[in-house]
Amino acid sequence: MKITKSIFGKTNEGVEVDLFTLTNDNQLTVQITNYGVIITSIVAPDKNGQLNNIVCGFEKLENYLSPEYLGSYPYFGSICGRVCNRIANGKFSLEGKNYSLAVNNGFNALHGGLIGFDKKIWTAEIIEGPDKVGVNLSYLSTDMEEGYPGNLATTCTYTLNNKNELTIEYTAETDQTTIVNLTNHTYFNLTGGNEPILNHDLELNAKTYTESVEMIPTGEIVPVKGTPFDFQTKKKLGKDIASLINGYDLNFVLKHADGKLVYAGCLSEETSGRMVEVYTTQPGIQLYTGYWIPELTIDGHKKFGSYSGVALETQHYPDSINKPQFPSVVLSPGQKLNEKTVYTFGTK
């Protein structure tokens, strides 16, 4: 196993950004930048040993900064926070105080605001151990940044081992009561981007989902059985997608033991033989099939577009701060947030 560091580019303000390349002994390579803590690439072998990048991302920082990409922004590979997913009307109350956030997704606040964790430069420290390599990234979100109270010290640690496990660990501490919900927004395409994701098979360890109206949970948790949202046994993403206007974009409730790492699901693709299993301590997982991913021209070639990747975002439920019956996203002084997600790659 090894890890290397290189220059990924410079921001529009001239700040240098790094790229970290993690490689294990099984030809699995993960690239991560300290800009937005983005997973830019995961190169994995298929059943015949052919290597391909199996996530949506770019080879140059300038593509992540381009107006074309940001104009229909899909958050490729980034860490979303301080609060991922949606907060209804961009408003919440905490300890008797009312807070208003930027409304950046219809009437709602999405993925931490206008300049969320996905657009910040994090401080990086390389990890080299006997059984893993990785990078520890940290960021201090100051009081009232994007409208959130408290100075929040956040770390995100990526590690890769020879079991083909990519582990993402989040920690956070605050000096005022605040709200936190962190996720990684990587989009997978196990064909290496050669085909849309509609023929991928998905299994989810979820009997229920959070019922939503216009992307905001009603507060009701309802069964998946008999709906297009039933992935209790694996099925193709495209099987029932025609019944959904914009494909899948929904939070599933995991069979969850509080604080324990549990199996969340498995994405696989028959032609390549590739598969990725997801394990998490988080209570939910957002399935998003990427209807709104823009088609982009990169170095003269058209790439991406609708259904070019599928995101499996482990998280707390959307709008949890306004739904007291949901698992809490409140973090108080003296508490420490600890969450973990593991993606395990393989072939079958």
**Residue 59 in tokens:** 């080879």
Using the Cα atoms of residue 4, residue 32, residue 304 and residue 308 in order, give the sign of their dihedral: positive
State the DSSP code for 58.
Answer: -
Nearest to 317 by CA among 39, 162, 49, 85: 85
Buried b (16+ CB within 10 A) or exposed e, 33-56: bbbbbbbbbbbbbbeeeeebbbbb
Residue 257's pLDDT is what? 63
Nearest to 90 by CA among 344, 339, 331, 319: 319
The rounded distance, in Å, linking the Cα atoms of 300 and 13 is 26
Residue 222's pLDDT is what? 98
Q: How many angstroms from the chain centroid is the CA of residue 22? A: 19
The rounded distance, in Å, linking the Cα atoms of 202 and 194 is 18
Catalytic residue among 111, 313, 316, 339: 313
For the chain, list the domains and their CATH numbers. 2-347 (2.70.98.10)
**How wide is the angle at C-alpha 243 spanned by C-alphas 278 and 326, nearest 5°?**
50
Place of tokens 């009701």: 220
The rounded distance, in Å, linking the Cα atoms of 285 and 254 is 7
DSSP string across 138-182: EEEEPTTGGG--S-EEEEEEEEE-TT-EEEEEEEEEESS-EE-B-
Catalytic residue among 111, 145, 185, 277: 185
SS3 of residue 32 by DSSP: strand
The rounded distance, in Å, linking the Cα atoms of 89 and 108 is 4
Q: Is the whole-model pTM more than 0.95? A: yes
Residue 57's pLDDT is what? 98
The rounded distance, in Å, linking the Cα atoms of 265 and 271 is 20
Residue 276 near residue 234, CB atoms below 8 Å: no
Q: What are the pLDDT tens digits along the chain (348 aa)?
A: 999 999 999 999 999 999 999 999 999 999 999 999 999 999 999 999 999 999 999 999 999 999 999 999 999 999 999 999 999 999 999 999 999 999 999 999 999 999 999 999 999 999 999 999 999 999 999 999 999 999 999 999 999 999 999 999 999 999 999 999 999 999 999 999 999 999 999 999 999 999 999 999 999 999 999 999 999 999 999 999 999 999 999 999 998 767 799 999 999 999 999 999 999 999 999 999 999 999 999 888 899 999 999 999 999 999 999 999 999 999 999 999 999 999 999 998
Residue 255's pLDDT is what? 83
185 noted as active-site residue = yes
End-to-end CA distance of the chain: 23
313 noted as active-site residue = yes
Length of the chain: 348
